[in-house]
A and B are shown apart, each in its own frame.
Chain A
């Protein structure tokens, strides 16, 4: 036994190292030549609590492609196709998906990855290959700090989401003591930091801060620990499975009166299913499309095609991202003498980074030049009532001012 354990440790270590080793790839051609328009889509399509988010993204992109099955360039018409990779909402998954896309000579640009951890891991690979990506859902605020050329996002940064959430907690709910938890992901960590900073700035107290591991099952002792600081609200930045456990185990740790609030990571039906009765009254913040006729039509089509309401919040973001990429390709592409599509990757990248005042489902798209495409979108605060997340308020951030408007119950 004694002699054996270290060997196990070494084996496990080796296995981990092997699985972490990045595939080397030395940038592809900067000029794409293809006979069709292929948009890569990188999202987590499987996995409890995260799969529905990815499926929702895929559907948004599919609807965009369904509207434009052919792309016209200089009198030629090229079929448009989505090429999907499951990125598992993890750094390794994002990396693997990115490696497959940059190695594929057909892929023009990519929608995705889905999670901030994956975006962060994939961005250097896309950078090296000169790719353009638009993530519909990577909200970590650091991603646009200038390090990545390839990274763009059609979603509001957590800076905005966190600010709205903190304002809602402090101003509308009147809560002054919160505890924050995150799941160790870049998304969770960053969001919690944003919420805590804003909340403190407003005059509230963050009385406890901790983190959990994805996949852990028993958070009761942790909740008990948090409880002794008597927070009025627990803010959790992570995904549905852990969120559901936390929300449910609150009751075992005598924290049933403490409000539970998450973010877009738990804004799924999955969360409600897993948390059972403990989902009741749980809040979440989530970025939402502009509520107008175009969006209503889109939603109607979505329900018609897929037979259900969207299982996640990012369908419109994915739709806008795909649309924008297709427009970009149409505008920068040329046709070779033998009738092939040719796209200058650099031109496409610069097209995406200079878009201005474009009206999308998610709001007015204005590229800031650093990868942010949506600086001014709305954030909704939703709350579980009768087994559904329902909007209770909408927050708008303009510069450093937050405007929160209550939504009346329908």
Chain B
């Protein structure tokens, strides 16, 4: 019998656990990605020009486009942080962590209690930085706990059952969490207290000055709005946009480093590719899976708190929409792909923000547009935008 190196090599493509490889793929050949972006934009433009949509008459200017992209990036960063969790869980367990949106909501809620307590005690006014850090920490811890409980009592018992079982169980768990929060804390939404956290007085010497104009505290990181002229564009910039985006980017890079450069990350990729063999090499697969859930929870918790700082309202129901969007983003980026999840999230946020105006459609239809794109991508590129086009899995 002779060897068939090609056949063997190609048959091992398209498995989950594509953490790093696709990143190198893009670096080596970014063309397909750009092609896709271009295609989507062209599609928008074409549709817009072809169809006499909407009744708006005023020009849709590049300035407006830019402003909407900034809004989209902020919301997309939230989706990206969630997508990272979905993608990691999927790559090690091949399940859709459907309750991830509720993990996110748990974090936002826990953060609310801490922040609200801080506001009541006056700590928020006297020591905003510490209050915000505690809020973030509380959100992250709560989400990690929620994620670990889900792993232990929901996903582990069904780990080796057909995917549809874990999916149903996950949907159930998500409802239980949501209803549990409603029973515990009521269905009523709550407003995140407004936080004025001033930062970078030296970087921004003319911002945040008091009445006399002598003491300047820098920019208001979470609640400020600043009108800026940039390359002839008049923009209103919100520092929170940068905060959310930077957080998403930092988490993604940290995660990417962890996954591709550390021994624990290598173990994670090993479990993702072939759990049995990973075990044979001495990897405690359970511990790896627990870690994945904990990491996903950590990101979801941070995302939850940041989301609440950005959008101000929390309720037991807030997890649903970002959850679905995060999952969509992960699918767009190719499930199992860390940079893909990030990119998918940002792309989704931007499309959601820009598409209704570009196409002249009602804002009501933005979800329809997004899920339409998801369907298209899955049809033509089942592995996601960044994934391989072959998506067969090793049996």
Contact = CB atoms under 8 A, between A and B. Distances in A.
A and B touch in the complex (CB under 8 A): yes
Interface of A: 1-2, 4-5, 7-8, 11, 46-49, 51, 184, 208-213, 215-222, 224-225, 228-230, 241, 244-245, 248, 251-254, 273-274, 276-277
B106 interface: no
Contact of B312 (A8, A11, A276): A276
B354 A221 contact: yes
A131 B342 CA distance: 56
A292 to B, nearest CB: 34
Contact of A218 (B57, B75, B90, B225): B75
Interface in B303-334: 307, 311-313, 315, 317-318, 320-322, 331
Given A48-B189, A221-B357, 11 more contacts: A1-B90, A46-B188, A210-B364, A215-B317, A217-B322, A220-B353, A224-B67, A245-B311, A252-B71, A252-B225, A276-B312
B55 interface: yes
A177 B363 CA distance: 20
B163 interface: yes
A46 B185 CA distance: 12
Nearest to A274: B191
Interface stretch (B39-47, B58-66, B130-138, B279-287): B58-66
23 contacts: A1-B391, A2-B378, A4-B164, A8-B167, A46-B187, A48-B187, A213-B363, A215-B317, A217-B311, A217-B321, A218-B75, A218-B353, A220-B71, A221-B71, A228-B60, A229-B57, A244-B313, A245-B311, A248-B312, A252-B71, A252-B238, A276-B194, A277-B194
A213 to B, nearest CB: 6
Contact of B364 (A47, A213, A229): A213
A217 B382 CA distance: 29
The 9 A-B residue pairs with the shortest CB-CB distance in the complex, in nearest-first order = A48-B189, A221-B353, A222-B363, A2-B382, A220-B71, A225-B357, A211-B364, A221-B68, A228-B58
Q: Which of A46, A48, A209, A254 has the most CB of B within 10 A?
A: A48
Contacts of B363: 210-213, 216, 219, 221-222, 225
Given A209-B55, A217-B321, A2 B60 contact: no
Contacts of A218: 71, 75, 311, 352-353
B98 to A, nearest CB: 9
Interface string B169-189: 001000000000000001111
Contacts of A222: 356, 363
Given A215-B321, A244-B313, A252-B236, A4 B191 contact: no
B222 interface: no
Interface string B321-363: 1100000000100010000000000000000111011000011
B321 A216 contact: yes
A390 B58 CA distance: 36
Contacts of A230: 58
A225 B61 CA distance: 10
Nearest to B235: A254
A273 B61 CA distance: 35
Contact of A274 (B225, B313, B320, B321): B313
A1 B335 contact: yes
Nearest to B240: A252
B25 interface: no
Contacts of A51: 187-188
B263 interface: no
A287 B315 CA distance: 29
B331 A5 contact: yes
A25 B71 CA distance: 49
Contact of B164 (A7, A209, A253): A7
B367 interface: yes
Contacts of A48: 187-189, 313, 315
Contact of A273 (B75, B191, B227, B378): B191
B168 to A, nearest CB: 8
B382 A225 contact: no
Contacts of B227: 254
A49 B311 contact: no
B224 to A, nearest CB: 11
B96 interface: yes
B56 A208 contact: yes
Contacts of B331: 1, 5
Contacts of A5: 331, 378
B301 interface: no
Contacts of A252: 71, 225, 236, 238
B355 to A, nearest CB: 9
Contacts of B318: 217
A245 B189 CA distance: 12
A320 B357 CA distance: 46
A213 B321 CA distance: 11
B164 to A, nearest CB: 6
Given A210-B363, A219-B363, A225 B321 contact: no
A251 B187 CA distance: 27
B72 interface: yes
B190 to A, nearest CB: 9
A210 to B, nearest CB: 5
A380 to B, nearest CB: 26
Contacts of A2: 378, 382, 391
Q: Which of A46, A208, A225 has the most CB of B within 10 A?
A: A225
Nearest to A206: B55
Given A4-B167, A48-B189, A216-B321, A224 B378 contact: no
B60 A241 contact: no
Q: Which of A8, A210, A220 has the most CB of B within 10 A?
A: A220
Nearest to B330: A1
Contacts of B315: 48
Interface string B138-173: 000000000000000000000000011001100100
A129 to B, nearest CB: 30
A304 B187 CA distance: 27
A221 B365 CA distance: 13
A199 B356 CA distance: 26
A11 B166 CA distance: 13
Contacts of A217: 307, 311, 313, 318, 321-322
A36 to B, nearest CB: 31
B313 A245 contact: yes
A216 B368 CA distance: 13
Interface in B172-222: 186-189, 191, 194
Interface in B47-86: 55-61, 64, 67-68, 71-72, 75
Interface in B224-241: 225, 227, 236, 238
Contacts of A221: 68, 71-72, 352-354, 356-357, 363
Q: Which of A1, A11, A210, A276 has the most CB of B within 10 A?
A: A1
Given A5-B331, A228-B59, A241 B382 contact: no
A328 B318 CA distance: 45
Contacts of B378: 2, 5
